[in-house]
Amino acid sequence: MKKKILLSSLFCMMLLLCLVSCFTSSITQLELVGDVKTEYEIGDKLDLEAITLRATQNDGKTFEVKASNSAVTVTGFDTNSAGRKTMVFRYDGISLSVAYTVFSAGTTANTTAELKDLISKQVGTIRLAKGVFEGLDVTVSYPVKIVSDGDAQVVEPIVKADTTGSVVFENIKFKDTVKFQGEVSFSGCEFTVEGKKYGLQATSKATLTVEESKFVTEKETDCFDYLIACNASDTKVIIKDTTISCNFFYGVSAGYYLYMDNCTVNSTLKADTPLKDTYGAPIYNAKKNPVAIHANAKADAITNEWKFNYTVKNSTFSNVQNVMRVYELDQAKDENVQLVWVNNTIDSSCNFVVNFSSKTYGTMPKILKALGLENSSKFRYVISQNTEIVKKADEEITVVKNGNAYQYTGLQYKDKNDASIVYDYVGYDGSSHILLKDGKYYSIKIAYSSDGLDTRTIVELDRKPELFK
């Protein structure tokens, strides 16, 4: 009898354990299946039949359940008022939060004041009516999309996205400088200036994306000082499928991160274009520019390590004096330097790598190798305006670094305005550029003038420089 009772007890315990295990949740994760509607108008209903959830069990197996299932509860869905909201799906003790936006006819802004009001109410999608919007100065603390049918013009806005915010502009015309910070994107937009101003200017750390947009100038006297000035540390610039065809001095001035793909960069700036600088002084020699890409290694704000990560591909450059200027690569470790140049086209009017920083001369061979230009005439080193250092034909560039000084072979100094002035460029001692001709050493003295026509004097040295003793 005792044996039967024992066996019966064991059977009951096993049955109980089985039942407990059957009713214990094994769901570890919920996720949405496919695209789910996240934009609603006031009064819209939630179509639960159109929403499918995928549940993952602790053994890795998955199954799907409709949101309309009685075992699924939904909270937080409310279309009685406009704004950015969150609904929560709950199934078998596991929750899934989904952000959504409610908008109405009231989300169409007819004035700048209405636009600012809608942003203050955290409306997710705002449509701009036809017209001109001036005086926009806002801080955005949530994701917002601002769109138009192409008939809205925004003049000199200031847009700041904080750590919880982001802004997307679609199909909008911008006039004069757009100041921004944080995560800001432009898609299908057009940028123009009147006078001489920046196009897009980051006032602090930013992540900038420009897609399917264009920069244009309609007047000969209008000119972008910088198309994109976005060079703070830890700043990222991404430009895709964008056309630049305008007067500009400088194109893209990024921090240590730039990604450019399928872009056209064509300066329409002419040497005799009647322009004035920021202070109203006439510019007689606009020919010294433009620069398509102003590249600069930067120190990471967190680690303080210098970095440089540039990718340029599938793009075309024309009528720019300098396709790329590179500064301060020598500050960065080799493992923190990445330069990718793939499938780009440079017309005959362009020079390639231009370098005003003495610290980078020693890195130049590495740059040329990365660009596949070791034996190309498409680049030049620049000391100052109207002067250049070019690679000698059929000679390798060698560099010997000693402290702040560099000793070179394989380079020549030329004056752009006087073809008869040719020297061997043999060194930089930390303060002076050293030339050699017919066994004699020379240094270069440079004087700058307000009309843009800087001059230089080549002075024979009375003794052999210390660098070469």
From first to last of the 469 residues of the chain, give the pLDDT tens digit: 544 444 455 455 554 444 444 444 588 999 999 888 887 878 889 999 999 999 999 888 999 999 999 999 999 999 888 777 899 999 999 999 998 877 766 689 999 999 999 999 888 889 999 999 999 999 999 999 999 977 899 999 999 999 999 999 999 999 999 999 999 999 999 999 998 889 999 999 999 999 999 999 988 888 898 999 988 777 899 999 999 999 888 899 988 899 999 999 998 887 666 666 555 655 544 445 578 998 887 888 778 888 888 899 999 998 887 788 777 766 777 778 787 877 888 876 666 554 434 344 344 555 555 555 555 444 444 444 445 667 777 777 777 777 777 788 888 887 666 677 889 988 877 777 789 999 999 987 655 443 334 456 788 999 888 887 7
User: Among the residues of 110-183, which ranges form H helices?
Assistant: 112-120
> Among residues 205, 200, 209, 207, which one has the least CA distance to residue 238?
209
Q: Which two tokens stand for residue 275?
A: 């322009």
Residue 118, Cβ neighbours under 10 Å: how many?
23
Q: 425 with 392: CB under 8 angstroms? A: no
> Among residues 95, 114, 116, which one has the least CA distance to residue 105?
114
Alpha carbon separation from 67 to 39, 62, 92, 155, 398 (Å, rounded): 18, 16, 12, 45, 69
Q: Specify the pTM.
A: 0.63
Q: 245 with 266: CB under 8 angstroms? A: yes
Q: 452 with 283: CB under 8 angstroms? A: yes
> Among residues 353, 437, 438, which one has the least CA distance to residue 389?
353
Q: Is 440 helix (H, G, I), strand (E, B) or coil?
A: strand
For residue 8, what are the contacts with CB-CB under 8 A and spacing of at least 6? none
CA 218 to centroid of chain Cα atoms: 26
Q: What pLDDT does residue 176 have?
A: 95
Q: What pLDDT does residue 351 have?
A: 60
Q: What pLDDT does residue 232 have?
A: 78
> What type of residue is 140?
V
Rounded Cα–Cα distance for residues 54 and 67 (Å): 10
Q: What pLDDT does residue 281 have?
A: 58
Q: What pLDDT does residue 387 have?
A: 54
Q: Which two tokens stand for residue 340?
A: 């990718």
Residue 95, Cβ neighbours under 10 Å: how many?
11
Q: 165 with 185: CB under 8 angstroms? A: no
> Among residues 143, 32, 52, 166, which one has the least CA distance to residue 98?
32
Q: What pLDDT does residue 455 have?
A: 58
Q: Which residues pair with 326 in a beta bridge?
A: 295
Q: What pLDDT does residue 403 have?
A: 73
Rounded to 5 degrees, φ, ψ at 310 are -125, 130
Alpha carbon separation from 92 to 73, 306, 460 (Å, rounded): 10, 49, 87
